């Protein structure tokens, strides 16, 4: 089994739920886990990974992964919202994965709402993490195509096309298919075809 994994998908595709379930199953089988989340992610809780479906698990909250190391008896580390860490943090995870008998499972977003890859996500690809795409459908009513992008809206419902890459929270975001992203963000495309 690969020792460094990246489970990625759009908002609402159950990344955090799968992390919590994975940790539960590993612990039930006698494999000690550690759950980590970035300090910036305080949407639902300061010290837990929370899923929108109502399950959660306690987490160690860190501003950076530099200087952190798993406990000697830890078999699996599960990291939520990996995109909020830095490329240097990913390099640190690589050193751990290559030198210790531990499996590292990262969960997070690949791209931001301007169609740019997060630096930490890019670094996971560059270092050869095993990729696992988690799928969900477009959140535009009536569309059942694969969600691949995010749209960010302001309080008036207008699409936001600039600003900070990292903005915590999801109340003004929608996960959408490529076609609806191009229609609403770029003003191109038509409703007759979709991204499947």
- What pLDDT digit, counting tens, does each position of 149-195 carry? 999 888 888 898 876 666 665 458 899 999 999 999 999 876 544 44
Say what the pLDDT of residue 7 is. 98
CA 153/CA 139 separation, integer angstroms: 13
Asked if residue 188 belongs to a domain, the reply is no
Tokens of 2: 């690969």
Burial of 162 per CB tally in 10 Å (0-12, 13-18, 19+) = exposed
Q: How far is CA 148 from the centre of its chain?
A: 13
Cα-Cα-Cα-Cα dihedral sign, residues 103, 109, 22, 33: positive
CA 71/CA 115 separation, integer angstroms: 37
Which residues are registered as beta bridge partners of 62?
A: 38
Q: What is the CA radius of gyration of the chain?
A: 17
CA 156/CA 170 separation, integer angstroms: 16
**Total domains, the chain:** 1
Asked if residue 46 belongs to a domain, the reply is yes
Cα-Cα-Cα-Cα dihedral sign, residues 95, 35, 12, 2: positive
Asked if residue 14 belongs to a domain, the reply is yes
Q: Which domain range does residue 89 map to?
A: 4-133
Asked if residue 174 belongs to a domain, the reply is no
Cα distance between the two ends of the chain: 30
Asked if residue 172 belongs to a domain, the reply is no
Helix axes 87-99, 119-126, angle to 10 degrees: 30
Asked if residue 89 belongs to a domain, the reply is yes
Asked if residue 145 belongs to a domain, the reply is no
Instruction: Please say if 81 is a catalytic residue.
Output: yes
For residues 192, 146, 50, 66, the Cα torsion angle rounded to the nearest 10 degrees is: -120
Among residues 81, 88, 115, 135, the one annotated as catalytic is 81
Q: Residue 74's domain is classified under what CATH number?
A: 3.40.50.300
Asked if residue 179 belongs to a domain, the reply is no
pLDDT tens figures, 91-146? 999 999 999 999 999 999 999 999 999 999 999 999 999 999 999 999 999 999 99
């Amino acid at each position: 089994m690969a020792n460094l994994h990246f489970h990625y998908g759009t908002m609402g595709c159950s990344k955090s739920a799968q992390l919590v379930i994975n940790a539960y199953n590993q612990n039930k089988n006698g494999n000690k886990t550690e759950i980590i989340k970035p300090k910036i992610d305080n949407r639902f809780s300061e010290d837990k990974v929370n899923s929108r479906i109502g399950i959660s698990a306690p987490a160690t909250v860190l501003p950076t992964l530099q200087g952190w190391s798993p406990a000697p008896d830890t078999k699996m580390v599960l990291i939520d919202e990996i995109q909020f860490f830095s490329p240097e943090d990913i390099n640190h995870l690589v050193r751990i994965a290559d030198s210790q008998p531990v499996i590292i499972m990262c969960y997070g977003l690949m791209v931001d709402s301007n169609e740019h890859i997060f630096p930490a996500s890019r670094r996971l690809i560059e270092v050869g993490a095993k990729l696992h795409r988690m799928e969900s459908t477009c959140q535009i009513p009536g569309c059942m195509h694969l969600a691949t992008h995010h749209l960010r809206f302001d309080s008036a419902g207008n699409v936001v096309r600039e600003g900070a890459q990292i903005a915590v929270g999801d109340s003004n975001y929608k996960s959408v298919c490529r076609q609806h992203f191009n229609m609403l963000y770029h003003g191109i495309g038509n409703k007759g075809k979709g991204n499947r």
